[in-house]
Amino acid sequence: MPTLPENRMKRYMQKILHGRNRIELVEVWQQEKISEHETKSLLAIEKAAQEVIEVATDLMAMMLKDTSIPPTDDYTNISRILELGLITKEVGAILKEANGLRNRLIHVYNDVDIDILLESIKRVLPGITEFLNVVEKWLSRN
């Protein structure tokens, strides 16, 4: 892989920092007792989780582009990152689950159950954190 220009490295780091900040917020907010009637809190968690997942999918597309592989849809990008050996199968599975979760958050499929939603968010965050670590390690080789 060619050395990335400084502005491209900066963009990666901005996305990673944004993702880590949002993960931290979600983790703090999820420790609070939230009822299904607290719309503002639930929307805040949903929006922050959505942004975390979008950071991960954006970073995958950027990594593919920077390795001269044209990015496509999110699920194919996850498979390609996996084929490159940059992530484990477990992280790949979590990223696929996270992408499906993001689609449910965006499109609010069939009245999402709040407890299941919060548990799903809690389940995918460690895998996304691991992916952010992978991206940082990958960048350090530049």
Q: What are the residue numbers of the active site?
A: 102, 107
The half-sphere exposure of 79 on its side-chain side, counting CA atoms within 13 A, is 6
Q: What share of the chain is helix, strand, coil (3-state, %, to 5)?
A: 75, 0, 25
Which contacts of 115-124 are long-range, i.e. CB under 8 A and separated by 24 or more positions? 117/46, 118/30, 118/34, 118/45, 121/26, 121/30, 121/45, 121/49, 122/30, 123/94, 123/97, 124/49, 124/53, 124/94, 124/97, 124/98
